[in-house]
Structure 1
Amino acid sequence: MSNRYDSRTTIFSPEGRLYQVEYAMEAISHAGTALGILAKDGIVLAAEKKVSSKLLEQETSAEKMYVLSKNIICVVAGIDSDASTLVETARKMALQHFATYDEEIPVEVLVKRICNVMQGYTQFGGLRPYGVSFIFAGWDSSQGFQLYQSNPSGNYTGWLATSVGANTTSAQTLLKQEYKPDSTLEEACDQAMLIMSKTMDSSALTSTKLEFATIKASSDGAEYNVYKPKDIEPLIEKVKSTTQ
């Protein structure tokens, strides 16, 4: 029992725990699985889409995958409304940096600024933590390709491969088995699709239940590609043929 130590964000339990932050992380654990894999020539992001319907416009609907700037994309797990608010904040930060310095914002700079906003909501009364976790993928000229994961406490860490969501324990185990530091972006896409096929709650792997994106370096800096359902189908067929 929390004994009402969860009535305020700023109240610590005798064990030093912030229950409201833990509740936010619990909300994330019920979201669809999302993962990111860092390859030597790019990064791949994949996520399970919970809302699927024959009436939904698949080409334009985005539930998990967001573009933050020309060099940064992200995938989210948790409360969608919280994610939308933070995504808009991140986009404004990226535009302000570009307007000021005439260059795309460095990946870690944007991640740190967003995590500062998230951390602020854990230390003031009358507020609640954001119930969302991000996986950021990006490229900049100083650090190259980078993959970060954040949580509601405002903490963030850099990863070679990571996952969040409902089946993150299984996904992390598979990532440890499948990940190869020298893999290409194409191989990382195959690994991501294989892991998603084994960890998604859906019985059948279809393009309507998946969101997929990649980012790689280009002559202009970075180039992202958010896949449409028709682009995901070949990856699904490839993983089905290798697992049969």
Structure 2
Amino acid sequence: MEAIGNAGTAIGILSKDGVVLVGEKKVTSKLLQTSTSTEKMYKIDDHVACAVAGIMSDANILIKTARVQAQRYTYAYQEPMPVEQLVQSLCDTKQGYTQFGGLRPFGVSFLFAGWDKNYGFQLYMSDPSGNYGGWKAAAIGANIQAAQSMLKQDYKDDITREEAVQLVLKVLSKTMDSTSLTSDKLELAEVFLSSGKVKYQVSSPESLSKLLVSFGLTQPAAEAS
């Protein structure tokens, strides 16, 4: 739990037409080469993605396990695995590690975003104990108390995906440790339906910069310089 509390914040919001995930990338040293791959967001299957907070090596093991489980289900039943079933099976693995001597629990929390034909769009949060729950808006990582109280105030049941993006960036800008919100410090991913198919999309740094300017969360590059 300590490792998760020190990790960059990740926030998820369930909207009526999609799920939005945003994560803060912690820049530990300016000498460190910035990663080209995503650090907080991972695609598990075509219809499920997740945001991560905690020990990344632990997260990689669990993400790999979840991907294999999703593919096995698709192979066996010729249809995508229901989101909750996938979350539950992964949480069973997590819980097993809290139960036996000689093993330590996985030091990682997840936000799962997905869509299936049974329940539509869904957002789940899980912690190292193997507990999970469905949420309309949730936060994991550092400063989650502040993030949760802001989400409680501003979340509406009929929120659209665009409004969810605005809310999630606003909350992150208030709860981040660093003073200014810039595109290289965050990752934004969305799960939505596009012409009947589930689509997972990670925003590029350029589109993130435009979003931050349009929502008034940062100055345009020319003004800033």
TM surpasses 0.5: yes
- Output the CA distance in 2 between the equivalents of 1:119 and 1:236: 39
Indicate conservation of the 8 Å contact 2:181/2:217, yes or no. Answer: no
**Which runs of no fewer than 5 residues in structure 2 stay unpaired?**
220-225
SS for the counterpart of 1:240 is coil
- Output the CA distance in 2 between the equivalents of 1:188 and 1:212: 11
SS for the counterpart of 1:105 is coil
SS for the counterpart of 2:106 is coil
Question: 1:22 maps to which residue?
Answer: none
What per-residue deviation string (whole Å, max 9, x for no partner) do you get for residues 119-178 of structure 1?
Answer: 000001100000000000000001100000000000000000000111100000110111
What per-residue deviation string (whole Å, max 9, x for no partner) do you get for residues 1-56 of structure 1?
Answer: xxxxxxxxxxxxxxxxxxxxxxxx12211111110000011110001001375874
Is 1:39–2:12 an aligned residue pair? no
* TM-score in terms of structure 1 length: 0.85
Shift of 1:234: 1.4
Is 1:140–2:113 an aligned residue pair? no
- Output the CA distance in 1 between the equivalents of 2:129 and 2:56: 17
SS for the counterpart of 2:201 is strand
Aligned partner of 2:118: which letter? Answer: S
Count of residues paired in the alignment: 218
Q: 1:67 aligns with which of 29, 43, 50?
A: 43
Indicate conservation of the 8 Å contact 2:212/2:218, yes or no. Answer: no
The root-mean-square deviation of aligned C-alpha atoms, in Å, is 1.7
Question: 1:218 maps to which residue?
Answer: 194
What per-residue deviation string (whole Å, max 9, x for no partner) do you get for residues 76-105 of structure 1?
Answer: 000010001101111111111111111111
Aligned partner of 2:175: which letter? Answer: T
Give the structure with higher Rg (CA). Answer: 1
Q: 1:83 aligns with which of 43, 59, 62?
A: 59
Change (3 A) 1:192 1:241: closer
Aligned partner of 2:102: which letter? Answer: G
Question: 1:151 maps to which residue?
Answer: 127
Superposed, 1:232-243 pairs within 5 Å as: 232-240=208-216
Aligned partner of 2:56: which letter? Answer: D
- Output the CA distance in 1 between the equivalents of 2:57 and 2:178: 23
* TM-score in terms of structure 2 length: 0.92
- Output the CA distance in 1 between the equivalents of 2:128 and 2:189: 23
